[in-house]
Each structure stands twice: as structure tokens, then as C-alpha cells.
Structure 1
Amino acid sequence: MTSAPPEASAIDPRRGTLIAWLVAAAFFMENLDATVITTAVPAMAQSFGVAPAALAIGISAYLLALAVFIPVSGWVADRFGPRHVFAGAVLVFTLASVACGLAQSLPTFVMARIAQGIGGALMVPVGRLVVLRSTPKSGLVKAIATITWPGLAAPVLGPPLGGWIASTWSWHWIFFLNVPLGAVALLLALRWIDDAPGRQRPFDARGFVASGAGLAALMYGLDLLSHSRIDWLQAGAFIGAGAVALGYAVWHLRRTPHPLVDLSVLGVQTFRVSVLGGSLFRIAISSAPFLLPLMFQLAFGFSMVASGFMMLALFAGNLGMKPATSWVMRRLGFRGTLVANGLLVALGFAACAAISADTPLALMAAVMVFCGMCRSMQFTAFNTLAFCDTTPAQTSGATTLFSMFQQLSTGIGIAFGAIALSVAERFTGHAGHPGAIDFRIALGLVTALALLALIDAIRLPRDAGSRVSGHPARAA
């Protein structure tokens, strides 16, 4: 039998808020480590005595470990209880961070990064499960808004923060800084989080192998597409193999009596819209941290520091929108918010495409803040919509499936940005030397993708998720 979460009346709102902030801090730590080493690569390569290009395997190993082990997170949480699994994941992630900082060779570093990825793969979906079980539906918007900001902030803050740490201290401190954060998170997790193991079921080994191999191959192929020099044959082979493996995994999961990931939750319209239409939006959004810094530095001639400040304006917009999130959703409902704000997201991308090196810095920063506010609202709305109508029995499978789609969307987003820029360069004949016009074309393609993501949202009923949003349409 599945253990039901406490009734809304039995949930302590203050404790639920504390748990949401705890999970958000853990998410930030995990998301940051996915991007923070990118600007520290030269220093790390010199330390290991290898070429900088060889460090790409350290980034890929982390992402691949995430992809392989996310599908098993729901089963592990049901088997051992979310409190033990989340705390254990934080411990593994923290110890692996120490191992990364102490690594003296590239192979040792790669093994430590794999361990970090395994910890992160369990930490994210299980952390989200903990928040959902400790939050009544009426408080879901606020809780999801709290745990959403790490995914928006980390890709923006990671590269400049990693470069600053590596140049001011040494690259080792990028990983050692996780130790006090992990220690505090571990103690608070053991103190605040209740344990409620879910439905016990046999382990689906075939589903684990198929889904893990498929996600890993697909993520690796997408990562190859984000490189400056793209091996289209190799990337296509991995993406094709990943698609075939995932296709088999879906076929298997729909037929086995005890699937590793329960796909029946896709029958819930609000969840389906969030992971399908929402994935198109996340792909568009994930391309921004890739395209914008390149545009500032390559097309506008900004220094890395100036480019970093512009990206901080984007982050400021993310945080600035948080207080208004619940109010907007109460006034407009989920459908109204997703459609109206989705148009503003597309407008923001179009504004980014319109700016130039001659645009006043204040106006440029204002555009970044506007984009940050809009994407923050859309992220929170889609992420909350996913769990509006799921039942307690579906929560474990829903969080696992949602995390899988989110991880894929991030990888596809970076690849989409790289491909859009490559297509623009071929069109203008600027191959290898992109100018402002190339970034305008690439951001135009991202704008079109953001608009495409609205199709699913428009089809939502007016009262979709009204129990969570508090929109008056619930009277219907």
C-alpha cells in the first residue's frame, strides 16, 4: 500500500516552508556544479597535466550519471523512504565534492564526478517528492516557486562564479565550498523531513537499463552538438541510439506490471501539458545562458566581467518576480498566466534579438531584467501545473518522470542554441565568426520555439489547476 501524505490540515505550513528552502538549497548546489567548472577548465587542465579539451569528459560524466540514475530515484524513494534517500544523496554528493577537490589526475576526477552525478540524480526528484508530500495543494505555488529558482540561477551564476573562484583562490575551492552547505543540509534533512516509504514493488531491471542507456546516449549526443566543432555523424549516432532505447523503454514500461517509472500519470492533462508543452518552453529558456553571453562577448565586444553583469540582471529579474507569482496566478489562473506570460517570454527573446552594441547599457540591462521576470513566472507556472491534479499514489512516478523531462530539456536547450547559431552562420556565411546578425537569427528561432510552446497551454480548460492557483474559475 502507498503511504498517503498528511492531510492539508495536519501539515505545519512553517515546516513545509523550511523544507522547501532546504530542498531549494540542495537543488542550487546540484545545479551549480553542472556549470560552475566551465570557466575553470584551463586551470584544472594545467593542474592535471592534460589539454583543456580533455576536461570535457568531466562535465559529460556528471551529466550522464544524472541521466542514468534519475529514472531509478522514484523506486529508491519508495523502497527506503524519502528522508533516508534525500539525506543519503546529500551525503554522497558532498563526499564526492571533496573527492573532486582532492583529485590529482583526470581519471580520479572523472570517477568523483560520476559519484557526484549519482548523488544529484537522487537528490533532485526525491527532494521535489519531499516538498510535494509536505505541502498542501493550496501552498503548492509558493513551494514550487521556492524550489524553481535554483534551476534558473545556477546556469547564470555558475560560469562567472567558477572563473572568479579559480582565479582568486584555486579551482579546488569550487568543490570544497559544497562541504559546509552539504553538512548543514544533511543535518536539517534528518531533523525536518519525515519518512513515509511508498508502495513496495519489484525492481524493474529491464526498464532501468533501457531508460538509463537511452537517456545517457541522448544526453551525450546533445552534448556533442553544443561543441564548437560538431561531429554530426557521431552526434546523430548517439541521438539515434538514445531515441531507439527510449522508445523500447516506453514500450516496456507500458506493458510490465511493475514499471520502474509509472507512465500512467501522462493521462493527467495538467501533468501532460507541463512536461510536453512545458519542455518546449524549457528548451527555449535553456538556450539563453548559452547564446546571450556569447552574443555579448563575440558580437558586442564585452569583457567576460561585463557579460557576467548582464547575466546577473537576468538573475535579478528571476528573483524580482517571485513575490508576485502567487498573485498573478490567482488573478489569471494557469491558462491565462501561461498564455499571457508566454507571449511576454517570446517578446523578451525578440527584444534580446533587437539590441545591439550601440544600445544603452541601462536599456540592455532592463531587457535582461524583463526577460528574467517573464521566464521565472513561466517556469513556476509550468512546474506547479505538473502536480496540481496528481494523486498521492502518482506523486513518486510523477516526480521521476518530470525530472527526466527537465534534464532532457536542459540538454536539448543548449544543443538547440548551438544549432540555431550554426544555422545562422551558414546562412550569413560567417562560419566560425558569428556577428550580431547571426545571434539575431538564432534568437529569432528561439522566439518561434517559445511561441510553439503555447499551443498546449491554450488547450487547457479555464479552471485547470484552480484548486492550487486560487483562481475564481474554480467556482465553475
Structure 2
Amino acid sequence: MSRTVPLILATALFMENMDSTVIATSLAAIAADIGTDPISLKLALTAYLVALAIFIPISSWMADRFGSRNVFRIAMVVFVIGSIACAFSDSLLAFVVARFVQGMGGALMTPVARLVLVRSTPRHDLVNAMAWLTVPGLIGPIVGPPFGGFLTTYFSWHWIFLINVPIGVIGVVLVSRFLPEMTRVAPRAIDFKGFALAGPAFALIAFGTSVISLPALPPIVGVLATLLGLALVAAYARHALRTDEPLFDLRLLRLPFFRSAVVAGTFFRLGQGATPFLFPLMLQLSFGYTPFESGMITFASAVGAIIAKFAATSIFRVMGFRTSLTLSTAVSAAGLLAMGLYTPTTPIALIIGILVFVGFWQSTFWTGSQAFVFADIEDKDAGQANVMAQVSNQLSIALGVALGGGMLEASTALRGGELTLGDFHIAFIVLAAVCLISTAMFIRLPRNAGHQLQAAH
């Protein structure tokens, strides 16, 4: 049973992890089919990430209130419904809404899966069970790009979503048959007012920043949406500082290491968040590659990420957190800068080699930053810190997609004419500069930053 439960849960997480990487190689084909331009599809990417940010904070409460197994099954069904809706979308609006529905399901799957695993596995076997659960997170990014590119090139982009249907049905059947019913825990009080303020704030900021430069809507729509979202953020901050159990406890930002992990990490993800969106588009629109060919190239970064999983612990033990985080963000920024210099004559072997190397250090950053979040967090605040970090991750990646797409739109608007390779170069150079801000922040950390985490090893 110790392997059965995590493998069943991993079925759903594999579906989610692969889906998030599959779509990147198919954006150009989807855009052509539904009658929009590829840059506008950044709305679909941000819609998914915003749904994650909105619903992750209430996932544990829902599991305690309605039962982990029930919520997990519902999450899988919602994800499959969203996948079907994506496949049958015939407009940008329909596709964006369908991706938001997918995100609602995805927001509940990962946190609830971890909760189910913790409650159904003896403590002495938990590390082994978690190892099985992380398998889809490692395999999905490798399989996703070439698989999505293959389906899009030789069949149809619709299949990258329809493939989720049999996987989801099998998952629901396995969960219903083999997953034990969890003992429900009395749910803690949920901050409904905070949820009512934070959820719309996330959505409005992501929507507003994404549509400011879209030709389909007047720029004032994006500006007003962003300003309203920021006003709701201010209202939430005022509410949270006066509430004993807020949805997000902003008082934790007073802790220097936690604040550095969140703020510096935000600049890193702002720079890196648009890469899965921009790079495959550049390879297809400017280099002339098919979705399958671009997928075979972009998966190289996931190979580097896999290698890093086996070396990250040693890297942080030998180099410490300050040096490791500084180096990994600097290398990642250099990788973005390199993307701003590639041309169709750049050797593919060189591009793949750089992707593997940069992917290694990006993965090192993800591993270290997720631990560094807890460097000065007390046990009683660990759950709240985890939620804030996850939501910050999703929102900053969503805003990174909006920033990257916005740079393309601004560049073409200022220059006039069709999208060119030079527009992609400008976008990547700007994103590299944004990513470097995180390097500047991490290098200012004390030399012994995170030593508490080292002691734990």
C-alpha cells in the first residue's frame, strides 16, 4: 500500500505537470486555429496560473471540510472538464476560460495529494512515499515538450488536451477503489473576507497587465483593471494586519530570510516565467521549426533539471545558500541573455548545451529557494509560509508571462510591422535584466544565511 497510494496520486500530478509543459510547444498552432495571434495566448497561460494562486490557499480547508479523497476526485474531474473545454475552444475567450477551469482543478490536486500522502503513510515510510510522488514532476517536463510537439505536428493540437481524458478517468477509478477514506480533521477557520479580497486582486492584476497592450481591448481597460487590483491588494493588506488568522499572514514578511526568498524569488520568476511561452514561439515563428522540432530542443533544460536533483543537496552544503542562490540566478539571467542573441544560424548543439547547463542551475535555484523560505520560519508558521510562497510563485510566473508578451507587443508597436526575431531578442534581454535583480538581492544576504537548514541535514 505504501507504493500504491503515491503512484495513484502521481497519476493525476503527471497529467498536470505534463499539461503545463505540453501547451508551450503548441501555442502557434492553437492561435492559428482559433483565429488569434500567438502573443494573445499569454492570457490563457496567465489564466491557469491565476487560478492556481486563487484556489491553492483554500485547498487544505476544503480537504478537511469535505474529505481529502472526495476533493481529490473532484479536482481530477474538474481538470478533465477543463481539458475537454480547451480542446473544443474556438475563440480566445473560450480558451482562456477553459484554462482557468483547468487551473481550478490543478490548484486542488497537488496540495491535496501531499495531504493525502501524509495522512495515509506511516511516518517511517514518508520519505520513500514522497519520492514516488515527485516522479511525475521530474518526468512531465521531459515528456511534455516533445510529446506535445509530436501530437501538434503529426495529428492536431486538440489531442494534447484530449489525452487527459483517459488518464483522468483511470485516475478517478483508481482513487475511488484504492485510496483510503481519510479521517477528517476539524477545519481551521477560513478567512473568507481575505479570500474575497485577494482572489479578485490576483485576477485583476494578472488580467490588467496582460491586456494593456493587446489590440483587442483599449489600453485603458488594462490600466483600470490593474489599478483596481492594486487597490484590492491594499485593502487586503489592511485587513490582514488586523486579523488573527488571515488568509496570508503578511507579518511573516518582517522575517529577513523569508522576505528575501519571496521578493528576490519574485524577480527571478518575473524574468524566467515567460521563457516557456516565448522560446518555443521564437523557434517556430522566427526559426521556422515545427512544434515537434522546437519541443525536442526545449526539453533539454529539463534534462539539466533532472541532473540537478541529484546534486543540489551537495551544492548547498558545500557552497552555502547565499553563494548557491546568487550563482544560480546569475546563470539563469545569462541563459535569458543568450536567448536574446540566438539566430537561425546558431548551432543547435550549442543551444541544447546551454539549455542543459542553465536548466541545471535553474533547478538548483528552485530546490534551494523552496527550502530557504523556511530558514527563519517557526514550525507554527510553516503552513502559512508554504501557502504564501506557493501563491507568490504562481503569481510572479503569471506576471512574467504578461511581461514577456508585453515586451513583444511594445516592440512591434514602436517599430511597426510584423513580429520579427529582433522583437524576441529585445524581450529576452529585458527579462534577463529583471532576473538579475534577484542576483543583486541574494548576494547581499549574510554569508551564513540558511545555516539553520544546513544543520538539519
Please list, as runs of the form range in 1=range in 2, the aligned pairs for 1:455-470 lying within 5 A after superposition: 455-469=440-454
Q: Deviations 1:264-318 (Å, cap 9, x if unpaired)?
A: 4434444332222111111111122233234334444444444333212233323
Contact 1:43/1:166 (<8 A) preserved:
no
Counterpart position of 1:327: 314
Please list, as runs of the form range in 1=range in 2, the aligned pairs for 1:21-420 lying within 5 A after superposition: 24-25=13-14, 27-29=16-18, 31-32=20-21, 38-39=27-28, 41=30, 45=34, 51-52=35-36, 62=48, 65-80=51-66, 82=68, 84-97=70-83, 114-127=100-113, 146=134, 149=137, 153=141, 157=144, 161-162=147-148, 164-166=150-152, 168-170=154-156, 172-183=158-169, 185-186=171-172, 195=182, 200-225=187-212, 227=214, 231-420=218-407
Q: Normalising by structure 2, what TM-score?
A: 0.79
> Partners in 2 of 1:21 and 1:268 — Cα distance?
34
Shift of 1:376: 1.7
Q: Deviations 1:186-216 (Å, cap 9, x if unpaired)?
A: 5676757895766633343321211111111
Which has the higher mean CA deviation after the structures are superposed, 209-218 or 287-296? 287-296
**1:440 matched to 2:425:** yes
Contact 2:240/2:247 (<8 A) preserved:
yes
**Structure 2 unaligned residues grouped into runs of 5+:** none
Shift of 1:408: 1.1
Secondary structure class of the residue paired with 1:247: helix
Q: Call closer, same or farther: CA 1:261–1:79 in 2, change over 3 Å.
A: farther
Contact 1:129/1:399 (<8 A) preserved:
no
> Partners in 2 of 1:19 and 1:388 — Cα distance?
32
Contact 2:138/2:306 (<8 A) preserved:
no
> Partners in 1 of 2:239 and 2:136 — Cα distance?
32
Secondary structure class of the residue paired with 2:299: helix
Paired residues, number: 449
Q: Call closer, same or farther: CA 1:80–1:264 in 2, change over 3 Å.
A: farther
Contact 1:86/1:127 (<8 A) preserved:
yes
Contact 1:145/1:380 (<8 A) preserved:
no
**1:452 matched to 2:427:** no
Question: Which amino acid is 2:395 matched to?
Answer: L
Question: Which amino acid is 1:335 matched to?
Answer: R
Question: Which amino acid is 2:167 matched to?
Answer: L
Contact 2:149/2:295 (<8 A) preserved:
no
Question: Which amino acid is 2:426 matched to?
Answer: I
Shift of 1:148: 9.6
> Partners in 1 of 2:91 and 2:245 — Cα distance?
42
Shift of 1:128: 5.5
Secondary structure class of the residue paired with 1:354: coil
**Structure 1 unaligned residues grouped into runs of 5+:** 1-11, 46-50
Q: Call closer, same or farther: CA 1:360–1:53 in 2, change over 3 Å.
A: closer
Shift of 1:263: 3.3
> Partners in 1 of 2:413 and 2:92 — Cα distance?
36
> Partners in 2 of 1:382 and 1:463 — Cα distance?
15
Q: Call closer, same or farther: CA 1:119–1:284 in 2, change over 3 Å.
A: same
> Partners in 2 of 1:52 and 1:425 — Cα distance?
16
Question: Which amino acid is 1:38 matched to?
Answer: L
Shift of 1:171: 5.0
Q: Normalising by structure 1, what TM-score?
A: 0.76
Which has the higher mean CA deviation after the structures are superposed, 411-420 or 277-286? 411-420
Q: Deviations 1:95-146 (Å, cap 9, x if unpaired)?
A: 554566578999988776554332222224444566788789x979x96994
Q: Call closer, same or farther: CA 1:249–1:132 in 2, change over 3 Å.
A: farther
Q: Deviations 1:65-95 (Å, cap 9, x if unpaired)?
A: 4444334334324544655534442343235
